[in-house]
């Protein structure tokens, strides 16, 4: 039996895919298993450390034949439309400069992994520095673990926010272990109505992106 690990950051990124799958929680990591047991999805929070924890819990369940980094990403190009899913061919670690080539057909969709949520100013810097199309916080960490173990690595990301979207600073609401402090953020957002329109749009785009991710993953896994 071939076993595929699907690593994301947040449960919402996986919800359309894992609906109906067996769910459990182990050492703070959410795990879902498909009916046939061949697909295992995991999330532990934002950032490379959380992705490492998720990867470790999946490995405890047995050998992995393929690993896919998935979830939401920010656009670094104007033409990329929020809500769509993209197959990534190259992942770059902004901290180390390392580059990881994803399995599958090459394309010009490169992703850079940042240690922080990128705001509009940081997006412009990353786009200029790395000529990347997307930014996230986990893919390079997953790619490094896959390379160390000799496991084929794939990356499918859904676009949650556009290149020029003006959003609040989410970094202050992410804990050291990668958990999003939703209650604190809700209080913050309720007191700042000038953010409401952008946040509502991002929420809609994120849900649409999660559905696009699920369809792309199903197409990939079933083929």
Domain that holds residue 82: 4-222
Q: Is the pLDDT of residue 2 over 90?
A: no
- Tens of pLDDT, residues 173-193: 999 899 999 999 999 999 999
pLDDT at 1 over 80: no
Residue 95, burial from CB neighbour count under 10 angstroms (0-12, 13-18, 19+) = exposed
Task: Quote the pTM value.
Answer: 0.94
Strand ranges (E), the chain: 4-8, 22-26, 29-33, 39-43, 66-75, 85-87, 90-93, 99-101, 110-113, 134-136, 153-161
Q: Which two tokens stand for residue 186?
A: 């809700």
Burial class (CB in 10 A: 0-12, 13-18, 19+), 24: exposed
Separation CA 207–CA 69 (nearest Å): 18
C-alpha of 203 from chain center: 15
Average pLDDT score, the chain: 95
pLDDT class for 105, splitting at 50, 70, 90?
confident
- The structural domain count of the chain equals 1
Mean pLDDT, rounded, for 137-160 = 97
CATH of the domain at 42: 3.40.50.1580
> What is the percent of the chain where pLDDT is above 90?
93
Rounded CA separation 70/86 (Å): 10
């Amino acid at each position: 039996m071939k076993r595929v690990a699907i690593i994301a950051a947040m449960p919402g990124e996986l919800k359309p895919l894992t609906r109906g799958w067996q769910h459990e929680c182990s050492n703070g990591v959410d795990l879902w298993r498909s009916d046939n047991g061949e697909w295992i999805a995991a999330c532990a929070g934002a950032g490379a450390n959380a992705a490492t924890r998720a990867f470790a819990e999946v490995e405890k369940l047995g050998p992995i034949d393929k690993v896919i980094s998935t979830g939401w990403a920010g656009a670094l190009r104007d033409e990329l439309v929020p809500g769509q899913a993209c197959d990534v061919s190259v992942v770059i670690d902004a901290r180390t400069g390392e580059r990881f080539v994803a399995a599958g057909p090459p394309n010009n969709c490169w992703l850079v992994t940042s240690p922080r949520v990128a705001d509009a100013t940081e997006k412009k810097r990353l786009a200029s520095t790395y000529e990347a199309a997307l930014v996230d916080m986990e893919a390079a960490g997953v790619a490094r673990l896959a390379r160390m173990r000799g496991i084929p690595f794939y990356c499918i990301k859904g676009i949650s926010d556009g290149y020029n979207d003006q959003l609040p600073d989410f970094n202050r609401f992410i804990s050291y272990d990668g958990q999003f402090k939703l209650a604190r953020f809700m209080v913050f957002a309720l007191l700042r109505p000038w953010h409401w329109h952008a946040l509502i749009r991002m929420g809609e785009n994120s849900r649409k992106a999660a559905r696009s991710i699920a369809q792309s993953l199903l197409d990939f896994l079933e083929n």
